[in-house]
């Protein structure tokens, strides 16, 4: 019998919650297209709108400002498109009300300021646009003073994009300070909360964000579902057209079953979030305390998600270690971004000032709702075994 792997890679994607799977099955059985006017279509529409209300309530948002997407990547791109369309209207002297942007020079180009810690979904897309960069301090936090300097010279309108919590290091950004700077400089704020939602409190009102992005599969819902959440009055100029779904903001037939599963997963993730956070933080701390003495933990000096540890064992190549851990029956990931199964050096760690050779050794463990204390024990046993083998080979 094949042993079930010990899963320590929740930041890549959490196992679907049983409650979400059951809810999805019911929605799939109901069938129908939510845009149809007959009873079957209306039943699916009711399920989607109920899910929208539940997710909006969890984020302190209005349900009409929740736009369902295929995931966080699409939601981020949708926000950028909405901002770009809004910027074009500003330059064309179309009145807007958010942050007095109607008073800005309509002939100036728009600016997108992206923190160096951002996920590739936004960072790589931003490189295709007019992007400025906000640097990181060595601990992984955005350098707020440097960000203010960038805001001072950026051509308006301005959109600042910052992850609430980084997917690699788990570092939680000082969004309150960043939001205050945005208000001071008349900038809009896009917050990617894909990793944070369900693990720490997330409220679009408390974050003072213009746009907020969340994802389903990070908290135990199905992959292929996410949402862009808008603050009241947030500029949104439609740049995509089709059947008018999602109030004309995101065309395409809604994935009703995924949306229902998403909303159910949100409810269960929030049901005991605070106690679960304490449990996971204790597991993470116990894991880090037992690492070899030469281990380096990244972001440990900053606030972090309770479930995430990004570390390196000098001299142990990350790709080799991930494969070796998998052979030992433990699923972890490289601290670096992974694309098409290929490990590459972490841009985030480089922005934190981590030396290239050390960054190449970066590994990440992340725990979640199904994680047990025995998972920590098995992950540590496997890692220490691999570390001991590395030491023997180095001494030979």
Which residues participate in catalysis according to the annotation?
Answer: 338
Pick from 230, 224, 221: nearest CA to 263: 221
Pairing mode of beta strands 111-115, 158-163: parallel
Distance (Å, whole) CA 296 – CA 318: 13
Whether residue 265 has a cis bond before it, omega within 30° of 0: no
225, two tokens: 């579902």
Helix, coil or strand: residue 140: coil
249, two tokens: 């903001």
Pairing mode of beta strands 226-230, 66-69: antiparallel
CA atoms 13, 17, 20, 26: torsion sign: positive
Place of tokens 């570092």: 171
CB 239 within 8 A of CB 82: yes
């Amino acid at each position: 019998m094949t042993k079930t792997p010990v899963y320590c890679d929740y930041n890549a994607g959490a196992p679907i919650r049983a409650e979400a799977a059951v809810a999805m099955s019911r929605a799939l059985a109901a069938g129908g297209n939510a845009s149809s006017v007959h009873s079957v279509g209306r039943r699916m529409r009711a399920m989607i709108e109920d899910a929208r209300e539940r997710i909006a309530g969890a984020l302190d948002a209005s349900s009409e400002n929740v736009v369902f997407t295929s995931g966080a990547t699409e939601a981020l791109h949708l926000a950028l498109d909405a901002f770009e369309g809004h910027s074009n209207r500003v330059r064309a002297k179309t009145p807007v009300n958010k942050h007095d942007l109607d008073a800005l020079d309509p002939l100036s180009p728009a600016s997108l300021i992206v923190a160096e810690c951002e996920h590739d979904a936004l960072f790589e897309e931003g490189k295709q646009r007019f992007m400025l960069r906000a640097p990181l301090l060595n601990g992984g936090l955005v350098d707020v003073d440097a960000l203010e300097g960038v805001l001072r010279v950026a051509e308006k309108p301005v959109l600042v994009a910052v992850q609430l919590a980084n997917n690699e290091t788990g570092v939680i950004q000082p969004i309150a300070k960043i939001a205050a700077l945005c208000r001071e400089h008349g900038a809009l704020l896009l917050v990617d909360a894909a990793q944070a939602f369900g693990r720490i409190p997330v409220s679009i009102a408390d974050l003072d964000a213009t746009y907020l992005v969340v994802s389903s599969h990070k908290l135990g819902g199905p992959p292929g579902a996410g949402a862009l959440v808008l603050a009241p009055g947030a500029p949104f100029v439609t740049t995509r057209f089709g059947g008018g779904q999602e109030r004309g903001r995101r065309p395409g037939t809604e994935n009703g079953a995924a949306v229902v599963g998403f909303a159910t997963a949100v409810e269960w993730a929030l049901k005991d979030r605070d106690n679960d956070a304490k449990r996971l933080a204790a597991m993470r701390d116990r894991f880090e305390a037992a690492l070899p003495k030469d281990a380096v933990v990244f972001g440990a000096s900053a606030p972090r998600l309770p479930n995430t540890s990004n570390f390196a064992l000098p001299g142990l190549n990350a790709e080799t270690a991930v494969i070796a851990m998998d052979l030992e029956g433990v699923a972890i990931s490289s601290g670096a971004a992974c694309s098409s199964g290929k490990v590459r050096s972490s841009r985030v760690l480089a922005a934190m000032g981590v030396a290239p050779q050390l960054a190449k050794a970066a590994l990440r463990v992340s725990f979640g709702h199904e994680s047990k204390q025995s998972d920590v024990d098995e992950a540590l046993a496997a890692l220490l075994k691999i570390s001991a083998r590395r030491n023997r080979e180095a001494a030979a």
